A and B are shown apart, each in its own frame.
Chain A
């Protein structure tokens, strides 16, 4: 081992002075950071689309940074600022539109606020309950770019699917509203999309949209009628309760059908005008172009007979009562009841073999011929008019035509205008027996049970709606005021229904049992829906995350 070398004797390492300008490699780190930061910044600037300004009446539900602009359910932008216009009259919403959607910001593009709209005919914008209100957008056809738009206050009806619009004219709107359903054979096939007052203010034009393929069932001969609510008619035919569906019952709706007598026509053109009838019966009544008037002089009380009461022949409606009054008998100078009726001869020969159709037409068309036939029927067969009781309970009367060969022969004078038809007295004794048997039958109808059931169903529904109402309150009230008011409305509607039910319960004694059954079905359906809603609420209570993530299979308990 050599002794430790003396420091001084050792050679000295070469010393290299610092090379200036040389940078330490550590500077790569900030360089990389700067490049990445610049990259992020550049990407942001480059991907930024245009800012557009939309003017609305109110900013309800619109929040800067939270409200999106959606086109076909795709986010195309986000609201960045909400402020009042300079005159404080309206609200200016600024939205940053994605660059990819910049081309859509053209002159005739439409913006509107999508809020939950809950009506019984359907819930629209339900997704906004989850997603919050958003600004809907519909592209325009123009190519001229624009930056400022005026927002629509009512969502436009986007003809999303194929179908056609028709314009119905009605004297008043009834309980219809935008979105009211249109039924065809109780199938919802469309909706009311617009309501306008006619220019002269004397009628309402209701534009309906009927979805394809159902639109082809709308032909020139199609009749539309208002199917709103209950159609309770107290006529000589008894009480007739008709409703299209529970929704129409509560909310109103329209229905259409093409009557059998209408000519088999081609589908109606788009925007074709139609008349809106008040109810189904009047809608489906044939156009009685040919009517023959007759006058009847009864010798008994006309109490229970009303204008519009049917005139039947072998039980088939062939006409109606058009006038009721008293008149003076020229011979005895005594007052006597006078009833004027119209008879539609077409209805008497509604279905004839094709070969005879022409003959029938000429026969019906010729007044002389008609009277000749009538005279023969009166003289040879004993055709007489008779007052009949339509409903024992209501005492409604109608006019029945029938053959009474044993009746005293009478002369039919076709020359009088209108000609007089001979009458026979009402068969009251027969009525008594019938009455008692019907009363016995009525006793057996379990009205109490039915009523209780109705009430129970309504109570369940009311309770559920109260629950829903509570839920809505706990939900930020300003977020969905529409929901609350809609629920209140629904409650109100239900209360109204309950009242109707109450009165219906009292009045529903008529023979219209099918109406009752229909009603019970509807209410059972309602109760089921209410139960389902409760189950949903319970589930959500236990699994709040399912709101966000969707329903997940139950995890096995640990």
Chain B
């Protein structure tokens, strides 16, 4: 174990991921099960970095079709119009409801992008063993985990618009191919955020301090 003084791991203890009970692991190699709730114990989330990277890359790839393909297809008596997420925001803005446009812009464009960037940043710094800004980076991962779900907003909006505006042939709205990719981006980034173990930030920071031989 590379964990350093102060952390539970450094004391040879492991905290249960479910009930938070700190217990002595069965052995260093296999932590065993939590004596209280019976959950499998682990020093850190297994293969956290790998899994997070994989999910993050998948999300980043899907982010392209999610934004390029239309999410809503509006058919009226005389025309058919496809809206991507961005053109939907523009449409909301031009029709005069800028607060709504802002909400959708933040939830559907900025949050997914921000999540991708933030997770990538944290992952890179952890892998490089950076010790700087550990506190801020931990807060960043917590924020990412917390706000990630709000990106589902657009999916819900589309669902209700599709469910309600079925006045064919006058006007009907159908989901476009982009909506499923967008949903996948949101789900994948949420999974990525959850699979990242923020304790790794501190482990890395502690390891760097240890190597540099000067306490913080």
Q: How far does the Cβ of B113 sit from chain A's closest Cβ, in whole Å?
A: 28
Task: Answer whether residue B169 sits at the interface, using C-beta atoms and an 8 A cutoff.
Answer: yes
Asked if B167 and A548 sit within 8 Å, CB to CB, the answer is: yes
Q: B81, B94, B170 — which one has the most chain A CB atoms within 10 A of its CB?
A: B170
CB <8 Å contact, B168 and A537: no
Query: Is A479 located at the chain interface by the 8 A CB criterion?
Result: yes
A33–chain B nearest beta-carbon distance, Å? 23
- Is the interface on chain A under 10, 10 to 19, 20 to 34, or 35 or more residues? 10 to 19
Query: Is B76 interfacial (CB 8 A cutoff)?
Result: yes
Asked if A31 CB lies within 8 Å of chain B CBs, one says no
B125 beta carbon closer than 8 Å to chain A: no
A480 to B75 CA separation, bound complex (whole angstroms): 15
Task: Report the tally of A-B residue pairs with Cβ distances under 8 A.
Answer: 43
* A residues adjacent to B (C-beta < 8 A): 66, 129-130, 132, 471, 474-476, 479-480, 537, 540-541, 544, 547-548, 558
Within the complex, what minimum Cβ distance (angstroms) separates B120 from chain A?
Answer: 38
Q: At the interface, yes or no: B2 with Cβ under 8 Å from chain A?
A: no
- Where chain B touches its partner, the secondary structure class is strand
B124 interface residue per 8 A CB criterion = no
Q: Which of A130, A471, A537 contacts B170 (CB 8 A)?
A: A130
Contact B169 A548, beta carbon cutoff 8 Å: no
Can you list 19 A-B pairs, Cβ within 8 angstroms, ordered by A?
A: A66-B166, A129-B169, A132-B168, A471-B77, A474-B75, A474-B80, A475-B77, A475-B168, A476-B172, A479-B169, A480-B169, A537-B78, A540-B76, A540-B78, A544-B77, A544-B78, A547-B76, A548-B167, A548-B171
- Beyond the given pairs A129-B170, A480-B169, A547-B171, 13 more chain A to chain B contacts, judged by CB atoms under 8 angstroms and listed by A's residue number, are A66-B166, A129-B169, A132-B167, A132-B168, A474-B78, A474-B80, A476-B168, A476-B172, A540-B77, A541-B79, A544-B79, A547-B76, A548-B170
Shortest CB-to-CB span from B75 to chain A, Å, is: 7
Q: With an 8 A cutoff between CB atoms, is B74 at the interface?
A: yes
B interface residue count range (under 10 / 10 to 19 / 20 to 34 / 35 or more): 10 to 19
Most chain-B Cβ atoms within 10 A of its Cβ — which of A129, A132, A475, A541?
A475
Kindly supply a per-residue 1/0 record for chain B positions 73-90, scoring 1 wherever the CB is within 8 Å of any chain A CB and 0 otherwise.
011111111000000000
Q: Determine the distance from Cα of A558 to Cα of B167 in the docked complex, in whole angstroms.
A: 30
Cα–Cα, bound, A548→B167 (Å): 9
Q: Are A471 and B78 interface neighbours, CB within 8 A?
A: yes
Residues of B contacting A548 with CB < 8 Å?
167, 170-171
* Complex-state Cα separation, A558 to B169, whole angstroms: 31
- Closest residue of chain A to B80 (Cβ to Cβ) is A474
- A544:B74 contact, CB within 8 angstroms: yes
For residues 154 through 176 of chain B, which have their beta carbon under 8 Å from a beta carbon of chain A?
A: 166-172
Within 8 A of A (CB), among B75-125: 75-81, 94
Which residue of chain A has the shortest Cβ distance to B169 in the bound complex? Answer: A475
Residues B169 and A476 in contact, CB atoms below 8 Å apart: yes
Shortest CB–CB separation between residue B83 and chain A, in angstroms?
12
Which of B75, B78, B170 makes the CB contact (< 8 A) with A541? B78
The CA-CA distance from A537 to B78 in the complex, in Å, is 7
- Other-chain contact of A479, B74, B78, B81, B168 (Cβ < 8 Å): B168
- By Cβ-Cβ distance, the 9 closest A-B pairs, closest first, are A475-B169, A544-B76, A540-B78, A479-B169, A476-B168, A541-B78, A130-B170, A541-B79, A547-B170
Shortest Cβ distance from residue A344 to the other chain B in the assembled complex, whole angstroms: 60
Q: How far is the CA of A547 from the CA of B77 in the complex (A)?
A: 8
* Set of chain A residues within 8 Å of B78, measured between Cβ atoms: 471, 474, 537, 540-541, 544
**Which residues of B have CB within 8 Å of A474?**
75, 78, 80
- The interface residues of chain B lying within 8 Å CB-to-CB of A130 are 167, 170
Who on chain B is nearest to A483 by CB?
B169
**How far is B169's CA from A548's CA once the two chains are assembled, in angstroms?**
11
CA distance A266 to B75 in the complex (A): 57
CA distance A476 to B168 in the complex (A): 7
Bound-state Cα–Cα, A499 to B47, Å: 81
Out of B94, B166, B168, B171, which one reaches A544, CB within 8 Å?
Answer: B171
Cα-based distance from A471 to B171 in the complex (angstroms): 13
Kindly provide the distance from the CB of B94 to the nearest chain A CB, expressed in whole angstroms: 8
Q: Measured between C-beta atoms, what is the minimum distance from A518 to chain B in Å?
A: 34
Q: Which residues does chain B contribute within 8 Å of A537, judged by CB atoms?
A: 78
Q: How far is the CA of A434 from the CA of B170 in the complex (A)?
A: 63
Across the interface, name the chain A residue whose C-beta is closest to B165.
Answer: A548
Closest Cβ of chain A to B198, distance in Å, is: 35
Contacts of B169 in A (CB 8 A): 129, 475-476, 479-480
**Which residues of chain B are near A541, meaning CB under 8 Å?**
78-79
Q: In the docked arrangement, what's the CA distance between A136 and B186, Å?
A: 47
> A540–B78 Cα gap in the complex (Å)?
7
Q: Which residue of A lies closest to B94 (CB)?
A: A558
A66: which B residues are within 8 A, CB to CB? 166
B:134-169 near A, CB below 8 Å = 166-169
| Smallest beta-carbon distance A113→chain B, Å | 17
- Give the residue name and chain of the B residue nearest to A477 (CB): B169
Contacting residues, chain A, for B172 (C-beta < 8 A): 476
CB distance from A185 to the nearest CB of B (A): 37
Inter-chain CA distance A544–B77, complex, in Å, is: 8
Q: How far is the CB of A546 from chain B (nearest CB, A)?
A: 10
Contacts of B74 in A (CB 8 A): 544
Question: How far, in angstroms, from A544 to B172 measured CA to CA in the complex?
Answer: 11
Name the B residues within 8 Å of A471 (CB-CB): 77-78
- Complex: how many Å from CA A474 to CA B94? 27
Kindly list chain A residues whose C-beta atoms are within 8 Å of the C-beta of B81: 544
Chain B 55-86 interface mask (CB, 8 Å, partner A; 1/0): 00000000000000000001111111100000
Report the separation of the CA atoms of residues A548 and B168 in the bound assembly, to the nearest whole angstrom: 11
Instruction: Give A555's nearest chain B residue, CB to CB.
Output: B96
In the assembly, what is the distance between CA of A46 and CA of B78, in Å?
43
Report A-chain residues with C-beta under 8 Å of the C-beta of B79.
540-541, 544
Q: How far is the CB of A84 from chain B (nearest CB, A)?
A: 24
Chain B residues, Cβ within 8 Å of A540: 76-79
A198 to B75, CA, bound (A): 49
Q: A129–B79 Cα gap in the complex (Å)? A: 16
With A and B bound together, what is the CA distance between A370 and B27 in angstroms?
140
Q: Which residues of chain A are near B76, meaning CB under 8 Å? A: 540, 544, 547
CB-nearest residue of chain A to B172: A476
Q: Enumerate chain B residues within 8 angstroms of A558, measured Cβ to Cβ.
A: 94
Q: Which residues of B contact A544 (CB under 8 A)?
A: 74, 76-79, 81, 171
Q: Enumerate B166-192 residues with CB–CB distance to A below 8 Å.
A: 166-172
Q: Separation in Å of the B93 CB from the closest CB of chain A?
A: 10
How far apart are the CA atoms of A540 and B79 in the complex, in Å?
8
Within the complex, the shortest CB–CB distance from B109 to chain A, in Å, comes to: 22
Residues of B within 8 A of A547 (CB): 76-77, 170-171
User: With the chains together, A130 CA to B77 CA distance in Å?
Assistant: 9
